[in-house]
């Protein structure tokens, strides 16, 4: 029997504590607009010392510190690059595929498509760097499908992705574009039945979209019914993630299994040193250097149609502000509401039976799976329909939850960075950073879930007492200053009692659920994977 944990938890703040912190928020927020022109005054601002200061004291100094550092390091800006007005026909795309694109209401290529499709059709390797939502999948899917139409056989192309959800999404795009060509695809990812996947691979699909780990599992267990010896296209989507050390052992196995004479395509929204090294490396004998398409260095990583805001809020009352934000979303997003109102629970007063209007399609990002599960329970308790996407769910649960969100049955998706890359969902109106991302490039991927394909969108980040450096790094990265979102403090605090009660219920629900067991299983699997990776590294060293 497992021993009960003896670790003491910090006491939860009382309602009075929360009320005092929330009432002090207006004074603290006003300080954020202050600008320190006097360098000596800016230099006297105390440094953040979490060990010696309480959260409220640290929070009260946060606006001044951010303002001072912004003044000393102005955020650079740069012009956004406009898409070339060139039709797909001029790029060499066949009429059959152009017709398929038209059925998707795609008639003009984006910058990355216009740049990368011709060299890929010409047989060159390619490295494509472009903003999120710029159509990178179509940039490599069209050349693959056009080559397949001439000489169809399987397995012709292998597309690798770091996340399962992205793999399914890429498969959907191949299915739509290649529907009239009779193209067969297979998705090979973890969390799904291996036997079913093995049967699909034995049928030799034209395009395999896979996560590296599961693809290696199938290679190791195959008895020769299929192989990768005739692969002509290798695609690494979200290449910055795939080229991290985490995937190195699996990629090494896959590179040995596919022919050296192939086209290799890397697509990413973030150019890392590893990718730059590949771009600068001298080509192997008989091969040309890869075609490289980069975003302009002076360009802005996030699109101009994205409104980027922040809310300065003490961490202990984030739930109250989140509830108010979802009940009162930015005006520019209201027209995107799709979900039907939630019938309210009947109470003593007639006003209690009014249905609760749901927010427009919203994705909330958290740092941990537990936070995602907690917020989902909290919002459901408050009659805001929500679902979650994180690593503690089975793959079937993840797909089901994602489909609920895509079909507008559920308006709020709470997820970890599992959902930050590649998810292309129509009309996501709002992205909320419940936890600020640890790395600024992850911010770019998160907010890229909205304002896609030229549409508008809003990103709201909750900035707490510990997020000073994160905000400044993000602003430096995206070359844009986040603007403060104004809220009526009085209206926000009207909901405090209801939200505080919902917090208690959500924590009880999480405690009574099987989430703890799922976390234990996840830890065991992670430990096994790390042990196997260490063993593989040691073997190579010998």
- When pLDDT is cut at 50, 70 and 90, the band that residue 421 belongs to is confident
Compute the Cα dihedral for 80, 86, 87, 92 and give only its sign: negative
- When pLDDT is cut at 50, 70 and 90, the band that residue 76 belongs to is low
Q: How far is CA 90 from CA 39, 113, 128, 290, in A?
A: 56, 12, 19, 22
pLDDT tens per residue across span 130-154:
888 889 999 999 999 999 998 888 8
Backbone angle region of 408, left / alpha / beta, with phi > 0 → left and psi within -120 to 50 → alpha = left
What is the H or E stretch that residue 459 is in? strand 457-463
Beta-carbon contacts of residue 501 (< 8 Å; ≥ 6 apart): none
> What is the value of pTM for the model shown?
0.75
Compute the Cα dihedral for 380, 382, 385, 388 and give only its sign: negative
CATH of 89-293, one of 3.40.50.1100, 3.40.50.300, 1.20.1070.10, 2.130.10.10: 3.40.50.300
- Give the start-to-end residue ranges of the domains of the chain: 89-293, 302-520
Nearest one of 318, 241, 252, 233 to 274, comparing CA atoms: 241
- When pLDDT is cut at 50, 70 and 90, the band that residue 301 belongs to is confident
Top pLDDT among 119 and 3 is at 119
What local confidence, expressed as pLDDT, does residue 336 receive?
94
Of 175-179, 229-233, 270-274, 285-289, the range with the lowest mean pLDDT is 285-289
Neighbours of 481 (CB within 10 A): 13
pLDDT tens per residue across span 161-182:
999 999 999 999 999 999 889 9
Does 333 have pLDDT greater than 60?
Answer: yes
What local confidence, expressed as pLDDT, does residue 365 receive?
98
Backbone angle region of 461, left / alpha / beta, with phi > 0 → left and psi within -120 to 50 → alpha = beta
Concatenate the DSSP letters of all residues of 422-448 into one string: S---TT--EEEESS--SSHHHHHHHHT
Top pLDDT among 439 and 540 is at 439
Taking the C-alpha atoms of residue 181 and residue 150, their distance in angstroms, rounded to an integer, is 10
Nearest one of 106, 137, 108, 211 to 422, comparing CA atoms: 137
What local confidence, expressed as pLDDT, does residue 34 receive?
36
Taking the C-alpha atoms of residue 17 and residue 320, their distance in angstroms, rounded to an integer, is 14
Q: Do 136 and 293 meet the contact criterion of CB atoms below 8 Å apart? A: no
Nearest one of 54, 46, 62 to 462, comparing CA atoms: 62
What local confidence, expressed as pLDDT, does residue 284 receive?
85
Nearest one of 323, 317, 405, 321 to 356, comparing CA atoms: 323
Same fold, 89-293 and 302-520: yes
What local confidence, expressed as pLDDT, does residue 453 receive?
79
What local confidence, expressed as pLDDT, does residue 22 receive?
43
What local confidence, expressed as pLDDT, does residue 450 receive?
94
Q: What is the mean pLDDT of the chain?
A: 84
Quote the DSSP letter at residue 151: S
Q: What is the mean pLDDT of residues 464-479?
A: 92
Q: Which residue has the tokens 């907010």?
A: 447
Does 521 have pLDDT greater than 70?
Answer: yes
CATH number of 302-520: 3.40.50.300
Q: Which residue has the tokens 């629970």?
A: 345
What local confidence, expressed as pLDDT, does residue 40 receive?
32
pLDDT tens per residue across span 251-266:
999 999 999 999 999 9
Nearest one of 406, 415, 402, 325 to 367, comparing CA atoms: 415
Question: Strands 412-415 and 386-389, how do they pair?
Answer: parallel
**Residue percentage of the chain with pLDDT more than 90:** 63
């Amino acid at each position: 029997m497992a021993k009960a944990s003896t670790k003491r938890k910090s006491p939860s703040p009382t309602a009075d504590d929360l009320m005092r912190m929330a009432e002090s928020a207006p004074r603290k927020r006003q300080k954020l607009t202050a600008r320190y022109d006097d360098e000596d005054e800016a230099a006297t601002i105390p440094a953040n010392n979490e060990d010696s200061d309480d959260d409220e004291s640290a929070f009260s100094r946060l606006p001044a510190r951010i303002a001072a550092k912004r003044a000393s390091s102005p955020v650079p800006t740069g012009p956004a690059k406009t898409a070339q007005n060139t039709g797909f026909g001029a790029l060499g795309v066949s009429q059959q595929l152009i017709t398929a694109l038209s059925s998707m209401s795609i008639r003009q290529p984006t910058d990355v498509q216009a740049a990368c499709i011709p060299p890929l059709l010409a047989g060159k390797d390619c490295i494509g760097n472009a903003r999120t939502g710029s159509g990178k999948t179509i940039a490599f899917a069209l050349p693959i499908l056009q080559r397949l139409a001439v000489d169809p056989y399987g397995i012709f192309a292998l597309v690798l992705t770091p996340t399962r959800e992205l793999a399914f999404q890429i498969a959907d795009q191949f299915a739509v574009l290649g529907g009239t060509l009779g193209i067969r695809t297979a998705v090979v990812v973890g969390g799904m039945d291996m036997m079913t996947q093995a049967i699909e691979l034995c049928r030799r699909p034209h395009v395999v979209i896979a996560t590296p780990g599961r693809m290696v599992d199938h290679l190791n267990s195959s008895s020769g019914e299929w192989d990768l010896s005739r692969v002509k296209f290798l695609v690494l989507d979200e290449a910055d993630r795939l080229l991290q050390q985490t995937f190195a052992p699996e990629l090494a196995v896959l590179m040995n299994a596919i022919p050296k004479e192939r086209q290799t395509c890397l697509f990413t929204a973030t150019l890392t040193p590893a990718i730059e090294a590949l771009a600068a490396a001298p080509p192997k004998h008989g091969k040309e250097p890869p075609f490289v398409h980069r975003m302009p260095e002076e360009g802005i990583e996030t699109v101009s149609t994205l409104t980027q805001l922040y809310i300065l809020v003490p961490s202990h009352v984030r739930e109250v502000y989140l509830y108010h934000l979802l009940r009162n979303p930015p005006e520019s997003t209201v027209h995107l509401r799709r979900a039907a109102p939630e019938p309210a629970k009947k109470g003593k007063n007639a006003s209690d039976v009014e249905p609760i209007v749901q927010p427009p399609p919203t994705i909330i990002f958290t740092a941990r799976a537990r936070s995602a599960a907690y917020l989902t329970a909290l919002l459901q308790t408050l009659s805001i329909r929500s679902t979650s996407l994180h690593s503690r769910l089975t793959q079937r649960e993840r797909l089901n939850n994602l489909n609920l969100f895509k079909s507008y049955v559920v308006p709020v998706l709470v997820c970890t960075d599992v959902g930050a890359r590649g998810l292309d969902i129509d009309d996501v109106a709002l992205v909320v950073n419940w936890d600020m991302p640890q790395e600024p490039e992850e911010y770019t991927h998160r907010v890229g879930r909205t304002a896609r394909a030229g549409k508008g969108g809003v990103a709201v980040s909750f900035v707490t007492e510990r997020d000073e450096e994160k905000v400044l790094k993000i602003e430096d990265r995206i070359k844009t200053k986040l603007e403060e979102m104004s809220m009526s403090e009085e209206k926000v605090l009207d909901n405090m009692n209801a939200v505080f009660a919902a917090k208690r219920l959500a924590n009880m629900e999480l405690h009574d659920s099987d989430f703890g067991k799922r976390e234990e299983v996840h830890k065991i699997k992670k430990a096994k994977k790390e042990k196997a990776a260490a063993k593989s590294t040691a073997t190579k060293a010998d």
